[in-house]
A and B are shown apart, each in its own frame.
Chain A
Amino acid sequence: MLESSLRISQNKPDQLWRGVKVQWRVIKALILREMITRFGRHNIGFLWMFIEPMMFSIGITVLWAWTGGHTKGTIPVAGFALTGYSAIVGWRNSINRTSGSIKANRALLYHRVITIFDIAFSRAVLEFMAVSVSLVVLTFAFVRLDLMDLPADPLQAVLAWALLGWFFTAAGLVSVYLDERSEIFERVWHVFMYLTLPLTGAFSMVSWLPTGAQEFILYSPMVHGVEMLREGYFGGGIRAEYDIGYFVTCNLVLTAVALLLVRRVGKLLRAD
């Protein structure tokens, strides 16, 4: 009944593929489980997962449309708020929800096939999935309501969003380490979150900023993703400043750091 993947000696290369299969199975199971635990099977259940971020985006869009701020040129305000706030929610939720994932699920580590990486990664992926569904549904809804047009270059929009997802996930994994490492993290995180808001690039296109500020803000990897996303949504008519190579390089470095740090979380747990 059981596959031999449960056996201990794992170092042979032919077992690598089986290891990947097991890990994929475990991550899928963890995502399903998290959906059930968090949203339950009561009333609209895990529809909440998408509605939560959606309500946030809708609220902000209405607010911005009303005040008429934050937009210049040809970009429709609804689309501007939607792309920007989806990115912010993705960034915020990934870290808020992933950082505490190990504390909440220590009992799962009784099962050898479940690793710390699996728990944290599945949580980050689930959060990203939720924000993604919210973004897609609201895009179609806003188009339907004539608030904006369909994305000018869907492929670029998808690619930009995927790169952002990669960034959020890697950052989420780093936050797991920081959270386990120090209690201070939990306390300063929310402040830090507010301070990083301008660096998300959600509130303004880079080209609207003074030259000095442009140079500075382009050091923030996420800005590149958001600029690219907006170009995908609103076409070449807007002036987007981004460098895919820079964003991908930052993601690779962040991922490497994240994987190294996640490996150390196990040691931190046992030192308790």
Chain B
Amino acid sequence: MLKVQNVSKSYPLQGQVLNVLQGINFELLPGDKVAVLGRNGAGKSTFIRLIGGLEHPDAGQIHSSMSISWPLGYDGGVQGSLTGLDNIYFLCRIYGADPLSIKDFVADFTELGHFLWEPVKTYSSGMRGRLGFALSMAFNFDCLLIDEGLSAGDSRFTQRCHDALQAKQDQAILMVSHSQASIKEFCDKAYVLQGGQLHSFESMSSAYAFYEGRH
């Protein structure tokens, strides 16, 4: 499980201090599918970067017994100048996974075909998103971090993601977004990040209601 205790984070901004997160508490169990809603600048990405271990909190602690993916966003954490295949090999090397089985899985899942031999910078954003998502699925992380939903893929791919995620009951998802569409698709619990605080809700609809009210 993942446990976030009293985490605060601030950034210096033109001589002043911007408190992005102030004493956040949060827990994620295996299999939880959780969304964090928030407006632009509410601290969603900071939150996900802290959980992903890309930054460290000023105060408080983050403990995790789960392996956590990189934040999947628009660019999917892949490199433009390398081909799709070279990206696969590179990530296999750094995450210490077997490239052969991963390559087959990704080729099958993304349906990128001969594009795998082309530099990723020639891909459409949807294709990039597919590659990044397929890679993170292939590595079997206990928890997927998703920044701004899976908006990149078309409906066919979204369905495919949906099925793949359904098949892995234990895999947790933490998704941050400002839109509801992809959240409805994948999550069953929602938080709202607002004013440096994380508000939790009994139901998805009460979270939406709160979020809409603040919009």
Binding site for B on A (CB under 8 A): 1-9, 22, 25-26, 28-30, 32-33, 36-37, 107-114, 270-271
Query: Are B95 and A7 interface neighbours, CB within 8 A?
Result: no
A126 to chain B, nearest CB (A): 15
Knowing A37-B82, A112-B52, A112-B70 touch, does A2 contact B139 (C-beta < 8 A)?
Answer: yes
B172 to chain A, nearest CB (A): 14
Which of B54, B82, B96 is within 8 Å of A22, CB to CB? B96
Instruction: Give 1 or 0 for each of B60-88: 1 = CB within 8 Å of chain A CB.
Output: 00111111101101010111111000100
Query: Are A33 and B77 interface neighbours, CB within 8 A?
Result: no
B4 to chain A, nearest CB (A): 11
Binding site for A on B (CB under 8 A): 11-12, 52-55, 62-68, 70-71, 73, 75, 77-82, 86, 90-91, 93-98, 139-141
Query: Are A33 and B90 interface neighbours, CB within 8 A?
Result: yes
Query: Are B97 and A9 interface neighbours, CB within 8 A?
Result: no
Query: Are B65 and A7 interface neighbours, CB within 8 A?
Result: yes
* Known contacts A2-B140, A110-B71, A271-B12; 13 further A-B pairs (Cβ under 8 A): A1-B97, A4-B67, A8-B64, A9-B63, A9-B64, A9-B65, A26-B93, A30-B94, A37-B79, A110-B73, A111-B70, A112-B70, A113-B94
Q: What residues of chain B lie closer than 8 Å to A3, measured between beta carbons?
A: 96
Q: What residues of chain A lie closer than 8 Å to B80, measured between beta carbons?
A: 107
Q: What residues of chain A lie closer than 8 Å to B62, measured between beta carbons?
A: 8
Sample of 15 A–B contacts (CB below 8 Å): A2-B140, A3-B96, A4-B67, A6-B141, A8-B62, A8-B64, A29-B94, A33-B82, A33-B86, A107-B75, A107-B77, A111-B70, A111-B91, A112-B68, A114-B94
A112 to B77, CA, bound (A): 11
Knowing A107-B75, A112-B54 touch, does A37 contact B93 (C-beta < 8 A)?
Answer: no
A233 to B70, CA, bound (A): 49
Q: What residues of chain B lie closer than 8 Å to A113, measured between beta carbons?
A: 94-95
Query: Are B70 and A5 interface neighbours, CB within 8 A?
Result: no
Chain A interface main SS type: helix
A37 to B89, CA, bound (A): 13
Query: Are B70 and A110 interface neighbours, CB within 8 A?
Result: yes
Chain B interface main SS type: loop
Query: Are A7 and B64 interface neighbours, CB within 8 A?
Result: yes
When C-beta atoms are compared, the residue in chain A nearest to B102 turns out to be A1
Q: What residues of chain A lie closer than 8 Å to B77, measured between beta carbons?
A: 107, 110-111
Which of A7, A30, A108, A270 is within 8 Å of B67, CB to CB? A7
Q: What residues of chain B lie closer than 8 Å to A28, measured between beta carbons?
A: 93
A129 to B96, CA, bound (A): 24
When C-beta atoms are compared, the residue in chain B nearest to A10 turns out to be B53
Point out which of A3, A26, A107, A110 has the most chain B C-beta atoms below 10 A from its C-beta.
Answer: A110
Q: What residues of chain A lie closer than 8 Å to B63, measured between beta carbons?
A: 8-9
Point out which of A2, A26, A111, A113 has the most chain B C-beta atoms below 10 A from its C-beta.
Answer: A111
A26 to B92, CA, bound (A): 10
Query: Are B94 and A111 interface neighbours, CB within 8 A?
Result: yes
A36 to B93, CA, bound (A): 14
Which of A36, A112, A270 is within 8 Å of B82, CB to CB? A36
When C-beta atoms are compared, the residue in chain A nearest to B51 turns out to be A8
B154 to chain A, nearest CB (A): 24
A20 to B75, CA, bound (A): 29
A64 to chain B, nearest CB (A): 38
When C-beta atoms are compared, the residue in chain B nearest to A36 turns out to be B86
B83 to chain A, nearest CB (A): 9
A130 to B140, CA, bound (A): 37
When C-beta atoms are compared, the residue in chain A nearest to B67 turns out to be A6
Q: What residues of chain A lie closer than 8 Å to B71, measured between beta carbons?
A: 110
